[in-house]
Amino acid sequence: MSVVQRVAWAALALFLLAFTVLEVINHGIPALIAALLFLIAPDLPLLIGGRYYNLVHRPWIPLAVLVIYSAGLLGDWVPLFTAPLGWLTHIALDRTFGYSLRDRDGNRRT
């Protein structure tokens, strides 16, 4: 990954982190728990193999949840918004630090 790509991911990570913190400040403990859980949880599939790790390290699923929530189709429970924000922050931080997707056996792709 090029330096420009890593800087772009870093900028996105900072934005997402700031947005997540703002939402947590505005909405309290449930929003914080959801954000922290999904900031950490995407690395858990590494314990069972690269395929699942790769699935949760693609930005499309949390982006879709954010869009569906923003359209009002998931109600107004804020943790359903902060969870994918935390998830996207995790993905952006991984890309910033050079962690890419994995092979089936769990090793980093080169």
Torsion of CA 31, 38, 70, 9, to 10 degrees: 120
**pLDDT tens digit sequence for 20-36:** 999 999 999 999 999 99
Q: Is 86 helix (H, G, I), strand (E, B) or coil?
A: helix
Q: What is the reported pLDDT for 67? A: 97
The token pair that represents 80 in the structure block? 């359903």
- The domain limits of the chain are 3-96
Question: What does pTM read for this prediction?
Answer: 0.90
Facing residues of 102 across strands? Answer: 108
Which residues, given as ranges, of the chain have pLDDT below 70?
A: 49-50, 104-110
